[in-house]
Structure 1
């Protein structure tokens, strides 16, 4: 056998051998192979078939980064929860449950989103987005709609509202006040079902091809207005949320409207690519479901304390209760110095004297003098001289 031996070229070395007089060159590029094997293969493993507008490898990589953030938060909150269990701090345990579940739900969703799963194809209403190689041949093309996003919102939004309520009542209610449990439950239920309505409205609208999708967009926007109106009254009027906590809540109430703008640019109007949609929604979700719950947890841990609970009453109803506690009897018509209040027939029959707080003004036609007995020397009978002399 002849031929050349091994000629080293690092990891990309060429192995040369001669087999039966023929030279066979086997090229092995180990470094490139491992880099490709360890890269993001989600779009290749789960290809977006039958779609004209879909996420690419770059969009999936961004989604994996968001997934890692929520996954890290799940681990951190789990550790903090076990620490709180050992210290027997019930308020901290309750407050930790909400951000833990929020992070877990969002981690579950973004793992699905980054894996290019949990979607369906809907033909867009407008053809603003252009692609080089359309697949379906439809005009406008078919867009990738991730319905799993709305499922994650459906599970996470009630927990965010609960955390907002818990942070407010634990930091604003004084020890001398009591909190109405019925009032809190009523407010939370209305807020939660309002959030459910706008989430479902956007989901249904995203799955509709025609212009009727904007009707569901309007339903969702009105529901969001109702939810925020109730939230403003509860937090700023009833609970008197102020300072930085109130400013953060106001900022979040502005942020949620960006969800509607993103929906209008992506699922609704087909103005931006699905990769841009993923970045837009990802930033909003990180603010609302990662940063804000962590801030509320810090507020509760640092400044929160259990308020006193009552089933019906509470400091929010103190004014109404004070009004109800006022004496319901008919007020007196007499003032100091006025004539005596007229006696009833029962009092006259019993011979009870009339009560007066001021000087008597003499008999009147309406109230003649009583004939119960003599009032002058002349009126004393002569048959009783002892009584006359005594008088």
Structure 2
């Protein structure tokens, strides 16, 4: 029998699954699963506080604007995940769906359904929907800020927007596909899993193509990027053995997803922020990108390419030379203009002695002398 002093301590523990009881479910999280989820919640909450403090410290020390921008991104990620895992650990933000396979069982079924009603937490999908775009932005910022300027030149704003939109909507699609598949009670859920997996494969191919070819990513950062691409596929494995295949209990599912989210949304953003802060510099942007120069980036090239551009520049600096374009060709022709001081206009055929060409020729003695 517990003493009156011990009773308040017992009530002060994790009472989430007792206060927010799962009803109408056969497979649901227990106190052990909720305890783990509260641990993940505390980690994300601590990270959010740390990023806020680092932001203000950087602000007081007049740190670079790049550092402040990079610290805002992981703070938002940690805050979104903290919000989701607070809901997850509180045994809220869920719905029930009929499982497909009899891989697991419970001692006391509640619904009498076969194989049973499984608890599906949609709150984690909402957190992924909010967090993935920020991770992708931070990933591109790390690559753009650490690349050699002479290798890339100015970064293209249009290319950056296009690439981020493709990556973001690709991740949105597979997150929604897994959510819809988890809510479908029949075997058709695997069709959504397949569609999401195919979308993820194409999206990761585009990400690697941009990082390797366009941004010239090399070394440790490339290895880290490829490792993260493999980690993303673990989400599909976790879904297949939990909401999809009903192979593991919801407590084990919570541990699986919690570890993945800590790697992707806690450790990985911290590494990216460290890379940007230590090695990053403000990237140079232009509308279309390219190397610096009079006819690079946004400046249009004249007909004939850069060679024609160089010739036209020399023509501009010499007022006595004008350009003429043939009606049937794009080739540029240069002719001497007729001006008041030109030799052609004066009618003379001999180069005067005071001209530059005459001064450069050696004088010869008269034969009669």
TM range, smaller chain: 0.7 to 0.9
The Cα of 1:227 is off from its aligned counterpart by 1.0
The Cα of 1:326 is off from its aligned counterpart by 4.4
SS of 2:92's partner is coil
The 1:324/1:246 distance shift into structure 2, 3 A limit, reads: farther
**Number of residue equivalences:** 303
1:30-69 alignment runs, 5 A limit: 30-69=4-43
Match of 2:251 in 1: 275
Q: Pick the structure with greater CA Rg.
A: 1
Alignment counterpart, residue 82 of structure 2, candidates 107, 116, 120: 107
1:305-320 alignment runs, 5 A limit: 305-314=281-290
Name the CA distance, whole Å, in 1 between partners of 2:254 and 2:137: 27
The Cα of 1:274 is off from its aligned counterpart by 0.1
Is the contact between residue 162 and residue 188 of structure 1 (CA under 8 Å) also seen in structure 2? yes
1:6-52 alpha-carbon deviations (Å, 9 max, x no partner): xxxxxxxxxxxxxxxxxxxxx86144313312211000000001100
Is the contact between residue 53 and residue 131 of structure 1 (CA under 8 Å) also seen in structure 2? yes
Q: CA RMSD in A?
A: 2.3
Name the CA distance, whole Å, in 2 between partners of 1:147 and 1:315: 47
SS of 2:111's partner is coil
Unpaired segments ≥5 residues, structure 1: 1-26, 330-391
Name the CA distance, whole Å, in 1 between partners of 2:44 and 2:26: 30
Match of 1:325 in 2: 305
1:347-358 alignment runs, 5 A limit: none
Match of 1:166 in 2: 141
Match of 2:51 in 1: 77
Is the contact between residue 44 and residue 82 of structure 2 (CA under 8 Å) also seen in structure 1? yes
Unpaired segments ≥5 residues, structure 2: 310-369
The 1:210/1:229 distance shift into structure 2, 3 A limit, reads: same
Is the contact between residue 167 and residue 304 of structure 1 (CA under 8 Å) also seen in structure 2? yes
Match of 1:300 in 2: 276
1:279-319 alpha-carbon deviations (Å, 9 max, x no partner): 00000000000000000000000000012111112259x89
The 1:31/1:248 distance shift into structure 2, 3 A limit, reads: farther
SS of 1:307's partner is coil
1:116 and 2:91 aligned: yes
1:317-354 alpha-carbon deviations (Å, 9 max, x no partner): x89x999834479xxxxxxxxxxxxxxxxxxxxxxxxx
SS of 1:271's partner is coil
Alignment counterpart, residue 182 of structure 1, candidates 149, 158, 165: 158
Match of 1:259 in 2: 235
Considering Cα pairs closer than 8 Å and 6+ residues apart, tell me whether 1 or 2 has the greater RCO: 2
The Cα of 1:238 is off from its aligned counterpart by 1.3
Give the alignment's TM-score, normalised by structure 2.
0.78
Give the alignment's TM-score, normalised by structure 1.
0.74
